[in-house]
Amino acid sequence: MKRITTCVVSCILGSLAVAQEPFPKWDVEIPVPIADGTPSQPAPEPQPIDFTVLSSRTTRVEVTEAPEMPGLPPVEGTINITVQKVADPNLPAPPPPLPALPPDDPAVLARLEQMRASYRASTIAFLAATVHDGSRTLLRIYPNGAANEAVTAWSNLDFNHFSGFSDYRVHGADGQEHRVSLLMGIGNLNTAAMTQLAARHGVAYEPPQIPSVPDLAAGGPAFTVVEGQANTEAMEILEQLHDLYRKEGVRMAAACQSREQARAARKAYLLANPPQPRDVTINFWRSNRKQQPVVPAAQPNGTEESE
């Protein structure tokens, strides 16, 4: 019988490093509300435009659209596509493009310095997370996308709980605040489902060998490092994420549960009330507005460059 094996990176340090601290090392917080599935406020409706239709043509078309979420049937039906030639509605003209500034312009230099200062106070953390049976997560962290500085670890946290916000703050001992933005790709793996799927195809599924990590309920957030170096930015982020859960975990778990409940309720509603594709109307016209002149770019010597 063939076998399907989930590969896990092996330890390059010769031994596994388990981190389970009774007290947080980092002063971290989530500065914004965590998404809990509550619908956001709808955008205001745009002001309607009173078109004068000069000619019109309508075509009936069978369409198939992707569903709103996985697990739902496609949205199918017949719609009207109407193409209308209309009179120029004389919409407000867009503002002309700003002139290009030379690189030594004082405003450009000031903006660049501001961006440099802001960049020093922020980090983008790329995370790849695979949650196994809702209780263990294989986590890879790439600070600012640097693959050569990555850390790989097994965590006793369900990283689905980290999906409701985009960044967190780290407060330093010097009073400075550092922002870490999370770009996370996450997947969930169910051992029983994988075993059944493999059996239906006549193969055996071998789950990964997960190193020993204390249970969350027994000792709080903990992780086991399987690849990576100590005293690196990626290791700091790994520690900060677990300290963040130690502080905000109850709120994060509750928000995740609320998101799942909202998703299930939305899915049930869509199954009971299948959406129908909407008709489409396309309006086009020939503008009577004169083309905006191109603003010449200023040159370092004070002259202007014309097109």
Predicted confidence at residue 234, as pLDDT, reads 94
Does a structural domain hold residue 74? no
Domain count, the chain: 1
Does a structural domain hold residue 145? yes
Distance CA 61, CA 78 (A): 5
Does a structural domain hold residue 226? yes
Does a structural domain hold residue 262? no
Predicted structure pTM score: 0.76
For the chain, the C-alpha Rg in angstroms (whole number) is 28
pLDDT in tens, 33-76: 999 999 888 999 989 999 999 999 999 999 999 999 999 999 99
Does a structural domain hold residue 271? no
Does a structural domain hold residue 167? yes
| Positions in the chain short of pLDDT 50 | 1-15, 303-307
Predicted confidence at residue 108, as pLDDT, reads 83
Does a structural domain hold residue 190? yes
Predicted confidence at residue 100, as pLDDT, reads 82
Distance CA 163, CA 167 (A): 10
> Could you list the residue range(s) of the whole structural domain that residue 26 is in?
12-34+105-247
- Bridge partner list, 127: 141, 184
Distance CA 255, CA 249 (A): 10
Does a structural domain hold residue 307? no
